[in-house]
Structure 1
Amino acid sequence: MKWLIYLYPKNWRKRYGDEIIDLLEQEDWSFFIIIDLLRGIVDAWKIEINERQVFGIRMSNMLLLISLINIFIILQYRSSQGVIFLEQITLIIAMASFFLAVSIFIVNLFKEGFQKAFSIRTRLSKMGLGFMGLYGLSFIAFLVLAN
């Protein structure tokens, strides 16, 4: 009956797997132990799925905050005529890469579903992460040039 342990999520098995196996070796198998293990499997998966959804909500809130900061900075520097050409180019690269990252994320969300969209396992997720990295680097370069 130790195979029931493999029905738990991988993170749970890494953290608690050895302990539960030791505990099961000390106990005699009964119907109630099997029911308890099955209830634990359902509970562990429920917690795992909730953590993934909370992570997704945090990521979407982070994207919204970054978008609002970008809009504020663009509106602030748009009226300024003293912006040099290099600052404009880095700002355009930053905004384009951010737009591409968000667009790829939305496509990945509709194509793969909510949980897979927030993982790094899909090709679209890796592309979106790459564009977010490019956005971060070019936005930092813009802020350095602006000061």
Structure 2
Amino acid sequence: MKWFIYLYPKSWRRRYGDELMEVIKQTDTSFKTIIDLLLGIIDAWHIELSERKVYGFRLSQLLTLIGLINVLVISKLISLREAILLEQIALIVAMLSFFLAIVVLVVNMFKVGIISAFSTNTRLAKISVGLMGSYAVFFITFLVLAN
């Protein structure tokens, strides 16, 4: 269960990693503990992404803006046939992006090891994160088109 610590953001690990390591050593491995750690990972990344800035904007604001642009572009479509075709294309590109992101992550795990693969220090890890971002954008596009 110690490897759960490496799923937290780097800044979080620097501040709380030693404490969490001690807590994990003192607790037993149970389903509730694993769920609690996973929820903590999600919460820590949510806070990290909310505070991280790209070109002066928060990353969460950029993702919202990309989703809004998708909605505006899709709402300008003329016919239903075009919407169905774009929906299929968006789903195919999303699935392909997800598949490639997982493949790149697995290759990175074999190349640098499991712990280093989950950091963004390597080029393959950055490529995998970028592919997951494109997966999210195209999947949001698919969901908007499907509704």
Q: TM-score range by the shorter chain?
A: 0.3 to 0.5
TM-score (norm 1): 0.47
Bigger CA radius of gyration: 1
TM-score (norm 2): 0.47
